[in-house]
Structure 1
Amino acid sequence: MITGGNTPADATTARLRLFILGDSIARGSDEGGYGPHGWPALVAARLGLTLTLDGEGGTGYTTAGPQPGRRPYTQRVNDVVAAEPDLVVIEGSANDVSRSQTQTAAVETLRQIRARLPHARILVIGPIYSFAQPIGSTPVDEAVGAAAMKLGLPYVSAVQRGWFRGSAHQLIGSDGVHPTDAGHEYLAEQIRPEVSRLLQS
């Protein structure tokens, strides 16, 4: 996990802590988005929040990916709780495959976070794909959305909003999957208003 402090925009947000749980789209990749260039750091800085980032490439609600030592979201809830955040954003994951397994794991993950952090405000962001053309929906997006709805949590569908389709696809790196630094800047502009709404809730 990566932690870091940001100069608060005002005294109101000085104590607020943001925890982001996600995959390589949150963590950053060789294409871009590491450290201060990633959308988590950009969002935190612009809203004057203290960030703890737990992003592990290849992971999701159901998968730990091919790298040894990495864990699915269900096994990282203790890390979220230990940070005692005021706001939690869970992102992903395009690494999940099965709709039924993803929905079951997402419900369990989100239920635990909500139960163990009853005062935290929680935002769920679905899998962020790099498709250039509109795709309508995907089984994983539908699964995570259904899990968030079941628990009464706000959900942002990157699929339905068409992030990275059309001209925005040029913000995906040469691997065809991960955003560049400019892509993370773009993501920050999509996600910041959603986190801002959490602050006002």
Structure 2
Amino acid sequence: MVAVALLIFRIEREAAVPIACSKWADGVDHEHQPMIAEQVGPLVYFVGDSYTGGSPMDAGVQWHEYVARDYMWSGRNLGVGLSGYVQRGTNGTTYLDRIESSRLFAADMVVVSGGLNDVRRTPESLIVPAVRSTLCRIRDLAPDVPVAVLSVFAAARDYGISRMNTVLEAEARRIGAAYIDVTDVLEQSAGSVGSDGTHPTDIGHRVLAESIGPMLPRPRGSLAR
């Protein structure tokens, strides 16, 4: 327990002041590449796991789609089941892999969520550097737009999830991003979690949208709510 307390203290102390992430020399002039055509409303990227990408527990419309419709944003879904900051999902990619292959430089806001797969399947020593690298890369590619980091989505909170949320909050502050804790949202509404005990139902996705939407920053170029 002493070691855990020291780790939490170190993370919080290091993240007290936002820092500029180092630029990655990828050889691409992101500032002068064309914007995505046929865009309606601010372009918001949603990076996440199966809570974002969808699961058999829902009918095909996820929480971020409700949010995008409610606020008249153009959403881009970068959610993949079983993935995380460290863990590779059903298509073999991590969050960072999908960020690298996206056109994130065109985003008006980036929303990153999840981490449950990392909590369940990854040694803690690997999580902090992976979260840091992922969020720094987002800030490098989208330096002038709001970034929101959501807590772990889960049907119930436990010690591992709380530890992950501590890391997410600290690393969000490090890059000047908003941190939003939504871990307990699904516990508050009956019928929100499917028969697998993990993933949200259609009701759950609507509940998440109604909770998350008002807490998100306003994307670049959006109208006042």
TM-score tier by shorter-chain length is: 0.7 to 0.9
TM-score normalised by length of structure 2: 0.73
The equivalent of 1:187 in structure 2 is 208
Shift in alpha-carbon separation, 1:81–1:111, aligned structure 2, 3 A:
farther
Q: Unpaired runs of 5+ in structure 2?
A: 1-37
What count of residue pairs does the alignment treat as equivalent?
Answer: 181
- Pick aligned residue for 2:197 from 176, 179, 184: 176
Shift in alpha-carbon separation, 1:126–1:80, aligned structure 2, 3 A:
farther
Q: Please list the CA deviations of residues 146-182 of structure 1 after superposition, one character each: whole Å capped at 9, or x if unmatched.
A: 21122221101223xx2222x4253100000000001
| CA distance in structure 2 between the aligned counterparts of 1:76 and 1:146, rounded to whole angstroms | 23
| CA distance in structure 1 between the aligned counterparts of 2:146 and 2:204, rounded to whole angstroms | 26
- Pick aligned residue for 1:155 from 179, 192, 195: 179
The equivalent of 2:46 in structure 1 is 20
Higher CA-based Rg: 2
- Pick aligned residue for 1:59 from 78, 83, 103: 83
TM-score normalised by length of structure 1: 0.81
Shift in alpha-carbon separation, 1:140–1:39, aligned structure 2, 3 A:
same
Shift of 1:120: 2.1
Shift of 1:78: 1.7
The residue identity in structure 2 corresponding to 1:168 is: S
- Pick aligned residue for 1:127 from 144, 152, 159: 152
After TM superposition, the structure 1 = structure 2 runs for residues 1-201 of structure 1, keeping only pairs within 5 Å, are: 14-32=40-58, 34=60, 37-65=61-89, 67=90, 69-82=91-104, 84-97=106-119, 98-131=123-156, 135=158, 138-159=162-183, 162-165=184-187, 167-168=188-189, 170-195=191-216, 197-198=218-219
The equivalent of 2:9 in structure 1 is none
Contact 1:94 1:128 in 2 (8 A): yes
Shift in alpha-carbon separation, 1:33–1:120, aligned structure 2, 3 A:
farther
Shift of 1:197: 4.2
Q: Unpaired runs of 5+ in structure 1?
A: 7-13
Which shifted more, 142-151 or 55-64? 142-151
Shift of 1:188: 0.3
Q: Please list the CA deviations of residues 24-67 of structure 1 after superposition, one character each: whole Å capped at 9, or x if unmatched.
A: 00111110152xx21111000110011110110000000014x3
